[in-house]
Chain A
């Protein structure tokens, strides 16, 4: 599951790069820092990625999640730190949703 999400996030980020919504110059993998120290995204880039990943998850898995909820914004270890942490965080929300 997590690999699938990592790939989905990488694909989404690359699409945003093509659409010039973000500017990415390096190859992406699960350890790529997204936001914060050495992050590849500025704050507006992060907004774009979060919205696009939410839409991509809904399209490919039929689950509607909100990545930028209060939990995410208040966590000490930000889920937006790397592609891997974002995938992990998304996975948690997706399984919460299916347990509803």
Chain B
């Protein structure tokens, strides 16, 4: 088998950047994207600058991938934004932004990737939800609603794409020390960690371990699942 072609969204920093490095190291050809430019380079990595919720640009990205690589084996929808505020203090524009990036972005990438994957009758998609969904975390209404949307999307798409031999699964990480949670007060994070079965922050390799499993060709019978880290 030639190098797997893996698309990862939100690779400028944090988990996305780590996953790009992780899968390049595993011999994948990685195509990444983010709204801003990156200040790092990798061999076998190509970067595109786009907003994941911009339908035209997402279509253009996949058309470029089709011409250049001819296929996509794996899609990791990592790009996401959070908004941590009481709902009474959350403006509509914030809700729209969060839903746009997290739900619409995931939807568009799944849809366009599926069009390529159905030709090869093979594909692995991994979406990002969060433990904040089952924990019904206060102060994150927009974020939690968007990630519940991603979970449902994962479940429905797993059924729609099954006949093309594409699996669609999700991972629900616990807090990981990245920019996403930097602004959250320490006691809030501690409360959250206390509600996990294992009371520690998640690490990048906790995330890649789950994704490695979903991406394995042998995981062809695993679809529509959400795996929460930390025992939530």
User: Residues of A at under 8 Å CB distance from B?
Assistant: 44, 48, 51, 55, 58, 64
Residues in chain A near residue B63, CB distance under 8 A = 58, 64
- Per DSSP, chain B at the interface is helix
Determine which residue in B60, B63, B163 has the highest number of CB atoms from chain A within 10 A of its CB, and name it: B63
Residues in chain B near residue A64, CB distance under 8 A = 56, 59-60, 63
- Per DSSP, chain A at the interface is helix
B115 touches A55 (CB 8 A): yes
B115 touches A51 (CB 8 A): yes
User: Residues of B at under 8 Å CB distance from A?
Assistant: 56, 59-60, 63, 66, 115, 118, 163
B163 touches A44 (CB 8 A): yes
Complex Cα–Cα for A48 and B160 (A): 12
Complex Cα–Cα for A86 and B127 (A): 34
Residues in chain B near residue A58, CB distance under 8 A = 63
Complex Cα–Cα for A55 and B66 (A): 10
Complex Cα–Cα for A48 and B63 (A): 17
Q: 11 A–B contact pairs at CB < 8 A?
A: A44-B163, A48-B118, A51-B115, A51-B118, A55-B66, A55-B115, A58-B63, A64-B56, A64-B59, A64-B60, A64-B63
Complex Cα–Cα for A51 and B112 (A): 10
Can you name the residue of chain B whose Cβ is closest to the Cβ of A21?
Answer: B118
Given contact pairs A58-B63, A64-B60, enumerate 4 new A-B contacts (beta carbons under 8 Å): A48-B118, A51-B118, A64-B59, A64-B63
Complex Cα–Cα for A58 and B64 (A): 11
Residues in chain A near residue B163, CB distance under 8 A = 44
Complex Cα–Cα for A51 and B56 (A): 16
Residues in chain A near residue B118, CB distance under 8 A = 48, 51
Residues in chain B near residue A55, CB distance under 8 A = 66, 115
Task: Say how far B228's CB is from chain A's closest CB, in angstroms.
Answer: 32
Task: Say how far B67's CB is from chain A's closest CB, in angstroms.
Answer: 9
Complex Cα–Cα for A21 and B60 (A): 25
Can you name the residue of chain A whose Cβ is closest to the Cβ of B55?
Answer: A66
Complex Cα–Cα for A44 and B118 (A): 12
Complex Cα–Cα for A55 and B56 (A): 14
Complex Cα–Cα for A58 and B60 (A): 10
Task: Say how far B60's CB is from chain A's closest CB, in angstroms.
Answer: 7
Residues in chain A near residue B66, CB distance under 8 A = 55
Residues in chain A near residue B59, CB distance under 8 A = 64
Complex Cα–Cα for A64 and B59 (A): 8
